[in-house]
Structure 1
Amino acid sequence: MSDSLSLLLTNDDGIDAVGFRALYETLSEVADVTAVAPADDQSAVGRKLSNDVSVREHDLGYAIEGTPADCVVAGLEALRPDVDAVVAGCNKGANLGAYVLGRSGTVSAAVESAFFDVPAIAVSLYVPGGGDTPWQEQASDPEDFRNATAATKFLVEHALGAGVFEQAEYLNVNAPMAEGDGPAPIEITRPSTLYEMTAEHDGNGTITLHDRVWDRMRADDIPDPEGTDRRAVVDGKVSVSPLTAPHTTEHHEALDALAETYLDTV
C-alpha cells in the first residue's frame, strides 16, 4: 500500500457487492482506500441527494444510508476530505452511452466528485447476459471483474501524474468480463449516441419501458462506430471515456434575438 496516494471508494450496488470488494482489494495494493458507500443497492438513482443520512462504521470504511452522491458529499466533506481521487464501482452492469451518464448512480458519484475538483473514475463491468444464466446471476466471482480492476489500478497509479485530469474531470471506464489469462487492452473512447428506449401501453394501466440497446448488444447487432464506448466493450476492450462534468453552454443568436423581443410581447 502506498502512503502517498489516498482514495475514496464508493459505488451504487452497495458496500457489500462483489465488484466493490474486488475493486477495494485491488486498489488497496497501491493506495490507502477508504470505503464510503451505500449500505444497500442504489442503482440508477442518478445524482439524487438527501438532506440527512445515517452513517455506520464498516470493516472497509463507512456505510451510508443514502445515495452515491450522498456518499461523495459526506465522504469529501466530513469523513475523508483529504483524498487524491474518488473511484466509483465496480458496478455490475455496463454504463455505456451518453444517455446513461445522468441516470447511473456509479457515474453520478464521479460527477459529484468533479464538482469538488477531485479527480474521479467511474468503473463498470459489461455482463453480456443471454444464455441459460440471467445476467443478474453472472459476475458473482471477484475474478470476473479482473479486467475492470486491473485497468482501474493502472489509471489510479498513472493518470494523475500524467496530467489526464487537467483536461478531463472524470473517466468513465467500462470493462468486459474476464476471459483467458491476459488483460483486455484499453481503448480511449467517446460515449455512444445510440438511444432506443421504447414504451408499450398494455391498455390496462401499465406502461412497460424497455431499453432495446441491450437486446442489440446480446445479438451483436450494434451500429456504433469505432471509437465509441459500446463498440470497444463489445469488441472485448476496456473503454475509457474522458469526460467533463459541468454542462456546456454556447452562444445562440436565435435565443438572443428572442430575449430582445420579450418585453415587446408581454
Structure 2
Amino acid sequence: MDDSFSILLTNDDGIESTGFRALYEAFDEFADVTAVAPADDQSAVGRKMSNDVDVTEHELGYAIEGTPADCTVVGLEVLCPDVDMVVAGCNKGANLGAYVLGRSGTVSAAVEAAFFDVPAIAVSLYVPPGGDEPWTEKADAVADYRHATDAATFLARNAPEAGVFEEAEYLNVNAPMAGGDDEARAPIEITAPSKMYAMTAHHEEDGRIRLHDRIWERMGTGDLPDPQGTDRRAIVEGRVSVSPLTAPHTTHRHEALDSLAESYLS
C-alpha cells in the first residue's frame, strides 16, 4: 500500500485532541490523510445531524462546527469524496457494549460511512479507572495510544484486501492504554459487543435525578460477568477488541409479527 490510499479521519473529541493527533501521525506515514473533524468536543452526540455547518481550514485538513456524523457526510460529499476509508478516533475512553453503539459520536461517524458504502473503522482507547489521577487527566501523550494506532493501521492496511469489508461494514476497535516503550504489542481479539447494561438513576437531595453508568466501576474492580468473546472482557484482560459490525438496524422477520399483521384488518 502506498500514499495513494486515502483516508478521511474524524473523531468526536475534537480536532485538537491527543488521540486524534496520534491517529493522524500513524496513518500519515503510509496514506493520504484528510482531517475532517469537529472543531470542539462532540462526545456522545450519537448520529446527531446538522442542517448546515461552518468549515474552517486547519493544518491537518478541516475543522467542522458540527457533529462526527456531519463530518462524515461533509467529507464524503464535498471535501474529500474519493477516499478509500473513513477512520474515526482515537476516542479517549472506550466504546464498549451494544448499548453505546448508538450513543458514541466516534462509532456514529463510522456508521454514517457505511451508508456511503465506504469501509470504516472506529477506534477508541480504554483508559483504566482508579488511582489518584482522574481518568480524564490520563492518556495525554501520543505514546499512550500506541496499541490503538498499531491495531488501527494494521487493519486499515490489510482488512480491505483480506475481504473483511465484504462481510462487515465497519469495525469497532477498542485498545488498552499503552505502557512503556518496551511493552509488547497487545494481541487482537475478534469480539461481539457485550450485552451487559448497568445504567441507574436516582434522586439527589436537591431533587434532581442523577443518571449513572455503573459499568466503569465494575470494570475497575474486575467484577464483570461478560463472557469470553465479548468486547469488554477482551479489553479488561489487555487485548485489542475488534467487533465487525453492520450499519443499523438488522431486520429479523418472524412468524409472530407476520401473524399479527395479517390479523389487523380481520
TM-score, normalising length: structure 1: 0.97
CA apart distance, 1:258: 1.9
Aligned residue in 1 for 2:156: 156
Instruction: Return the letter of the residue paired with 1:119.
Output: P
Size of the aligned set, in residue pairs, is 264
In the alignment, the residues of structure 2 paired with residue 18 and residue 251 of structure 1 have an alpha-carbon distance, to the nearest angstrom, of 44
In the alignment, the residues of structure 2 paired with residue 127 and residue 158 of structure 1 have an alpha-carbon distance, to the nearest angstrom, of 27
- Within 5 Å, give how 1:67-82 maps onto structure 2: 67-82=67-82
Aligned residue in 2 for 1:91: 91
Structure 2: 5+ residue runs without aligned partners?
Answer: none
- Is the contact made by 1:198 and 1:212 (CA closer than 8 Å) also made in structure 2? yes
Q: Which among 217, 226, 229 is matched to residue 228 of structure 2?
A: 226
- Is the contact made by 1:11 and 1:91 (CA closer than 8 Å) also made in structure 2? yes
- Within 5 Å, give how 1:243-258 maps onto structure 2: 243-258=245-260
Q: For 1:160, what is the secondary structure of its paired residue?
A: helix
CA apart distance, 1:257: 2.0
Select between 253-262 and 100-109 the one with higher mean Cα deviation: 253-262
Q: For 1:227, what is the secondary structure of its paired residue?
A: coil
CA apart distance, 1:130: 1.1
- Within 5 Å, give how 1:1-266 maps onto structure 2: 2-180=2-180, 181=182, 182-202=184-204, 204-264=206-266
- Is the contact made by 1:30 and 1:153 (CA closer than 8 Å) also made in structure 2? no
In the alignment, the residues of structure 2 paired with residue 204 and residue 19 of structure 1 have an alpha-carbon distance, to the nearest angstrom, of 37
CA apart distance, 1:202: 2.5
Instruction: Return the letter of the residue paired with 2:88.
Output: A
RMSD: 1.1
Per-residue Cα deviation, 1:240-261 (whole angstroms, up to 9, x for no partner): 1111113111222222222222
Per-residue Cα deviation, 1:94-128 (whole angstroms, up to 9, x for no partner): 00000000000000000000010000000000001
CA apart distance, 1:3: 2.6
CA apart distance, 1:129: 1.8
Select between 1-10 and 61-70 the one with higher mean Cα deviation: 1-10
- Is the contact made by 1:43 and 1:104 (CA closer than 8 Å) also made in structure 2? yes
In the alignment, the residues of structure 2 paired with residue 145 and residue 44 of structure 1 have an alpha-carbon distance, to the nearest angstrom, of 20
CA apart distance, 1:229: 0.5
Q: For 1:86, what is the secondary structure of its paired residue?
A: strand
Q: For 2:25, what is the secondary structure of its paired residue?
A: helix
Cα pair distance change 1:34/1:198, threshold 3 Å = same
Per-residue Cα deviation, 1:195-235 (whole angstroms, up to 9, x for no partner): 01000012643110000110000111111111110011111
Q: For 1:262, what is the secondary structure of its paired residue?
A: coil
In the alignment, the residues of structure 2 paired with residue 214 and residue 129 of structure 1 have an alpha-carbon distance, to the nearest angstrom, of 7
Select between 248-257 and 111-120 the one with higher mean Cα deviation: 248-257
In the alignment, the residues of structure 2 paired with residue 32 and residue 251 of structure 1 have an alpha-carbon distance, to the nearest angstrom, of 42
In the alignment, the residues of structure 2 paired with residue 253 and residue 148 of structure 1 have an alpha-carbon distance, to the nearest angstrom, of 43
Identity %: 75
Structure 1: 5+ residue runs without aligned partners?
Answer: none
In the alignment, the residues of structure 2 paired with residue 203 and residue 247 of structure 1 have an alpha-carbon distance, to the nearest angstrom, of 40
Instruction: Return the letter of the residue paired with 2:155.
Output: L
Q: For 1:161, what is the secondary structure of its paired residue?
A: helix
Per-residue Cα deviation, 1:18-67 (whole angstroms, up to 9, x for no partner): 00001000000110000000000000000000000000100000000000
CA apart distance, 1:2: 2.6
In the alignment, the residues of structure 2 paired with residue 103 and residue 205 of structure 1 have an alpha-carbon distance, to the nearest angstrom, of 26
CA apart distance, 1:135: 0.3
Q: For 1:47, what is the secondary structure of its paired residue?
A: coil
